[in-house]
Amino acid sequence: MGGSSRILIIGATGYIGRHVAKASLALGHPTFLLVRDSTASSKPEKAQLLDSFKASGANILNGSLEDHASLVEAVKKVDVVISTVGGEQIANQFNIVRAIKEVGTVKRFLPSEFGNDVDNSHAVEPAKSVFELKAKVRRAIEAEGIPYTYVSSNCFAGYFLPSLAQPGLTAPPRDKVVILGDGNAKAVYVNEEDIGTFTIKALDDPRTLNKTLYLRLAANTLSFNEVVRLWEKKIDKTLEKVYVPEEQVLTLISETPFPGNIGIAIGHSIFVKGDQTNFEIGPDGVEASQLYPDVKYTTVDDYLSKFV
Amino acid sequence: MGGSSRILIIGATGYIGRHVAKASLALGHPTFLLVRDSTASSKPEKAQLLDSFKASGANILNGSLEDHASLVEAVKKVDVVISTVGGEQIANQFNIVRAIKEVGTVKRFLPSEFGNDVDNSHAVEPAKSVFELKAKVRRAIEAEGIPYTYVSSNCFAGYFLPSLAQPGLTAPPRDKVVILGDGNAKAVYVNEEDIGTFTIKALDDPRTLNKTLYLRLAANTLSFNEVVRLWEKKIDKTLEKVYVPEEQVLTLISETPFPGNIGIAIGHSIFVKGDQTNFEIGPDGVEASQLYPDVKYTTVDDYLSKFV
């Protein structure tokens, strides 16, 4: 009873791409991964990951976003294209739009999003430009009339929860916690495996066609103060809380050089401005756990239990 | 006896731009700053900084890299253009190249560099693309025949030394230090004020015309192990050292999401690959302290003393 849509994943060895690829294989889709020649040969850790994907039935295609012919050949093989590229490759997604337009048979494109909803943002620079670039990719997709789903998966749980967003920590703090703003803005923490599963569930669902899929899971939509309180309950201890007012956050952003300033500016958007939840989901959006109530996802509470 | 070249600085309220602007004013140059309307109105901290520049004689011009007319008007007023923009604005520097070409009277352009020498890099993604973009700006400048100086100022001391590059620390550690690679690659730590001074000294110097100015100050060119040893001597204590082999650093990069992965990849280039010093300065380069032996600069040793 595997999925029948053929899937191309671009960026499958990356941070979130590996979870999307795993979910695609686990849910039985014929899965194609566009991978640079150099990825396997120069990075042992990625080579190992690709081997495990191959063992699970993935088809590895050599190519890249800069090699148009390779991209077109890959796109021709599939029904759905998912991009999970990051960093400077975000801008190269216009090449995917061109290739999909040229091939003409793709039924759905999911560009690399997997964070805040970029059309509902109060981010300041340098995060503002990062989000605006993703919005430009959305506009290019829409201008070409390519069927799409945008996955707004909000905070990666595996990145924010193990440290409670405290730089340099690998386990939640047991003495002191620094909180951007007043800690009351709500954010959404989603386990990376669950992001993979919801993404694959949505990619050929007519209910997500030309819509944004919001992963705003109720049990994981919490203010920073609430996350801290959950943790305090688990360790049965009250932490010292240092609140950083918005003006100080803005100063910190301008006094931190690249690339540290991007991380703080994203933190400002999420934790001070509440950009993951400060808007209503409109007619162009759907919420993942409402569409797929059977998917059992990891809650923030479960997640934090690992560190007690 | 002030400098007579008229200087335009684009990015003067940013991390390094503020030091360049201060040096330009301190050394007596007629100084023009291109600033967005929104910078002063929306950011109190930047408004304050601009007020202090105005009080020192700076001329504030409203405009931005996206507003071509404002850029051309600003460029027309000066002899030298310095860009200190960061993040996504790096790509918008092609607009400066166009404006300088159009105006035709600029005697020197210093694009935003202020880090590793991007033509001598072994960086992996996502840092690789960041450096490549700066290299593309260099090639555009050269293709248009615009006179230039590239300032390769290496590590910002104020960013790396107060934490000894340990994420989340605001003072050097007194117990344990994590070291990328074997700690033997040499890097260069330069105080931000000194970067401003050397940049302004160089901008109309015929010896730096169409060359890269390297800030490879002898007293500040140290391996990470040497920096740690300096600190240990100051606090009279031996730290526990955790060395992270290159393969583990590469794994960490691919398992950290954007934007944290960029910082680690830059660290890999500096501390594992030794990209700040693993090449000879050729005929197209000059070293700052050799050209300006009278500039008294802050040494790493001085810098660390502040934290004892």
**Which member of B134, B201, B211, B273 is catalytic?**
B134
Residue B152 is classified by DSSP as E
**Number of compact structural domains in chain B:** 1
Does residue A63 form part of some domain? Answer: yes
Rounded Cα gap, residues A6 and A260, in angstroms: 39
Minimum Cα–Cα distance from B87: chain A residue: A126
Does residue A208 form part of some domain? Answer: yes
Give the pLDDT confidence score for residue A41 in this predicted structure.
Answer: 77
Provide, for chain A, the percentages of residues in helix, strand and coil under a 3-state DSSP scheme, each rounded to the nearest 5. Answer: 45, 15, 40
Does residue B307 form part of some domain? Answer: no
Give the pLDDT confidence score for residue A1 in this predicted structure.
Answer: 46
What DSSP string runs through A196-214? HHHHHHHTT-GGGTTEEEE
Q: Are strands B80-83 and B155-156 parallel, antiparallel or unpaired?
A: unpaired
ipTM: 0.81
CB-based contact B254 A166, cutoff 8 Å: no
Q: Which of B50, B258, B269, B270 to mutate to test the interface with A (most CBs of A within 10 A)?
A: B258
Determine the distance in angstroms separating the CA of A45 from the nearest CA of chain B, rounded to an integer. Answer: 6
Residues of chain B neighbouring A250 (CB-CB closer than 8 A): 43-45
Name A74's Cβ contacts closer than 8 Å, sequence gap at least 6.
A8, A10, A32, A34, A61, A63
Minimum Cα–Cα distance from B92: chain A residue: A129
Which runs of consecutive H residues, i.e. helices, occur in chain A? 17-26, 37-42, 44-55, 68-76, 93-103, 127-143, 157-160, 192-202, 224-235, 246-254, 260-267, 288-291, 300-305
Tell me the residues of B at the A interface, defined by beta carbons under 8 Å apart. Answer: 13-16, 43-46, 86-89, 125-126, 129-130, 132-133, 156, 159, 166-169, 247, 250-251, 254-263, 266
CATH number reported for the structural domain that contains residue B129 in this entry: 3.40.50.720
Does residue A172 form part of some domain? Answer: no
Query: B90: closest CA among A134, A95, A132, A258?
Result: A258
pLDDT in tens, chain A (308 residues): 467 999 999 999 999 999 999 999 999 999 999 999 888 777 788 899 999 999 999 999 999 999 999 999 999 999 999 999 988 789 999 999 999 999 999 999 999 999 999 999 999 989 998 999 999 999 999 999 999 999 999 999 999 999 999 988 889 999 999 999 999 999 999 999 999 999 999 999 999 999 999 999 999 999 999 999 999 999 999 999 999 999 999 999 988 999 999 999 999 999 999 999 999 999 999 999 999 999 999 999 999 999 99
Does residue A178 form part of some domain? Answer: no
Q: What is the pTM of this model?
A: 0.89
Question: Which domain, by its residues, includes B90?
Answer: 7-152+191-216+280-293
Does residue B97 form part of some domain? Answer: yes
Q: Which of A49, A50, A88, A134 to mutate to test the interface with B (most CBs of B within 10 A)?
A: A88
Does residue A116 form part of some domain? Answer: yes
Does residue A120 form part of some domain? Answer: yes
Rounded Cα gap, residues A86 and A201, in angstroms: 22
Active site residue A134: yes
Ranges of residues in chain B with a pLDDT under 50 are 1
Q: Can you point out the beta strands (E) in B95-169? A: 108-110, 149-152, 155-156
Residues of chain B neighbouring A254 (CB-CB closer than 8 A): 13-15, 43, 45-46
Residues of chain B neighbouring A50 (CB-CB closer than 8 A): none
Give the pLDDT confidence score for residue B1 in this predicted structure.
Answer: 45
